[in-house]
Structure 1
Amino acid sequence: MRYVFALLMLAACTPAPVYRDPTVTISSQALFDPARYAGLWHEVARFPNAFERDCVTATAEYGLRADGLLSVLNICRSADGTEISRINGNAEITGPGRLVVRFDSVPFVAADYWVLWVDEGYRTAVVGSPNGKTGWILNRDPEIPPDRLRAAREVLEFNGYDLSQLQEVSP
């Protein structure tokens, strides 16, 4: 167990790549409704990150809590659909479309998680971080229509992300 902990600590010290030009202003969704955002989202594209290295597909599920926070459950699956990992946490809403996410198994670490765009029907969302180390395109269904994928990619590009690094996820 101590070897696993040592590897995790070493990985935490390795600088993560940055996929966003920090000179570009990033903005979150001004009209963000947490109740409509709650529910299951399928990851359809992402920028590479260490915690999803072996994931072929992933889902994120959000729920409204009585204390004003959102519950968070992320599940990562292998190519055969087997669950590789599951992580629970919560998200504090710090502004319109701006969340600070904390996971139960990673104490003392919080991550800025900004909803950069969500379509009018809350079917597709683009999520990023001001530091540019993470970014995702999420959809309510595993497959995303081409027009919404195109719109989501445009939002990432507008917010300074390098789309050449974006990886689409197969359903």
Structure 2
Amino acid sequence: MAALVGVLALSACSTPRAPEGIRVVTGFDVNRYAGQWHEVARIDNRFERGLTRTTATYTLNDDNTVKVVNRGYDPVRQEWKEAEGTARFVDSPDRAALKVSFFGPFYGGYNVVALDENYQWAMVIGSSRDYLWILSRTPTLPWHVRDHLLERARAMGVDVGKIVFAAPPVEQHARQAVRT
């Protein structure tokens, strides 16, 4: 039993990798990626379930780690929830493959798999295809960007039917405004 506990502890602390067949962004610039991102969509997970208006803020630390602050509003409790963690590059800092921890030595994968050339939107997959986030510098995305990212996710083997969008795309707001 002690050996099993030891193996489980070592595997929990091991370096998470991108899922098989998933390629991460290369030529990554963490300084351009730093700052606040709005979570436009995600595959719901236990640590974010029910939260709205979620954001992630990334700050480069002096030791080349990245401070991560995730924030979301819990409408049931009518309060903001915040979690602070640290991300480390798995390999070279120009590869967007990181491991992030909010709980001591336990890491999860953070793999940027799609990134706008101007760093205005990104798609992130965790250590498995059951963890996906679509991030944007603004709270909404245009339809064509949303459709492009959904198609890319589908091509990577993600069950896009599990993706929950936080807000309608930009064009829908404009159409609703014209109708009212």
Give the alignment's TM-score, normalised by structure 1: 0.79
Deviation for aligned residue 1:48: 1.2
The CA RMSD over aligned residues, in Å, is 2.1
Please, which of 104, 107, 111 is the counterpart of residue 104 of structure 2? 107
Q: What is the DSSP-based 3-state SS (H/G/I as helix, E as strand, rest coil) of the residue aligned with 2:90?
A: strand
Task: Kindly provide the amino acid, as one letter, of the partner of residue 120 in structure 1.
Answer: E
Query: Distance between the aligned counterparts of 1:61 and 1:139, measured in 2?
Result: 11
The within-5 A match list for 1:1-171 is 25-79=21-75, 82-95=78-91, 96-103=95-102, 106-170=103-167
Deviation for aligned residue 1:24: 6.0
Q: Could you say if the C-alpha distance between residues 83 and 151 of structure 1 is closer, same or farther in structure 2, counting changes exceeding 3 Å? A: farther
Question: Is the Cα contact below 8 Å between 2:108 and 2:127 reproduced in 1?
Answer: no
Task: Kindly provide the amino acid, as one letter, of the partner of residue 42 in structure 2.
Answer: R
Report the number of matched residues: 148
Aligned to 1:16: none
Question: Is the Cα contact below 8 Å between 2:41 and 2:133 reproduced in 1?
Answer: yes
Q: After the TM superposition, which segments of 4 or more aligned residues of structure 1 sit over 4 Å from their partners?
A: none
Q: Could you say if the C-alpha distance between residues 23 and 66 of structure 1 is closer, same or farther in structure 2, counting changes exceeding 3 Å? A: closer
Give the gaps of 5 or more residues in structure 1: 1-21
Query: Distance between the aligned counterparts of 1:35 and 1:23, measured in 2?
Result: 25
Q: Could you say if the C-alpha distance between residues 23 and 29 of structure 1 is closer, same or farther in structure 2, counting changes exceeding 3 Å? A: closer
Query: Distance between the aligned counterparts of 1:34 and 1:23, measured in 2?
Result: 22
Sequence identity (%):
32
Question: Considering only CA atoms, is the larger Rg found in Structure 1 or Structure 2?
Answer: 2
Deviation for aligned residue 1:71: 0.7
Deviation for aligned residue 1:107: 2.1
Question: Is the Cα contact below 8 Å between 2:42 and 2:133 reproduced in 1?
Answer: yes
Q: Could you say if the C-alpha distance between residues 98 and 23 of structure 1 is closer, same or farther in structure 2, counting changes exceeding 3 Å? A: closer
Question: Is the Cα contact below 8 Å between 1:75 and 1:83 reproduced in 2?
Answer: no
Larger displacement relative to structure 2 (114-123 or 154-163): 154-163
Bigger relative contact order, structure 1 or 2 (CA pairs below 8 A, ≥6 apart): 1
Give the alignment's TM-score, normalised by structure 2: 0.76
Question: Is the Cα contact below 8 Å between 2:65 and 2:86 reproduced in 1?
Answer: yes
Query: Distance between the aligned counterparts of 1:158 and 1:122, measured in 2?
Result: 22
Task: Kindly provide the amino acid, as one letter, of the partner of residue 170 in structure 1.
Answer: A
Deviation for aligned residue 1:108: 2.5
Query: Distance between the aligned counterparts of 1:141 and 1:50, measured in 2?
Result: 24
Q: Could you say if the C-alpha distance between residues 130 and 89 of structure 1 is closer, same or farther in structure 2, counting changes exceeding 3 Å? A: closer
Deviation for aligned residue 1:74: 0.2
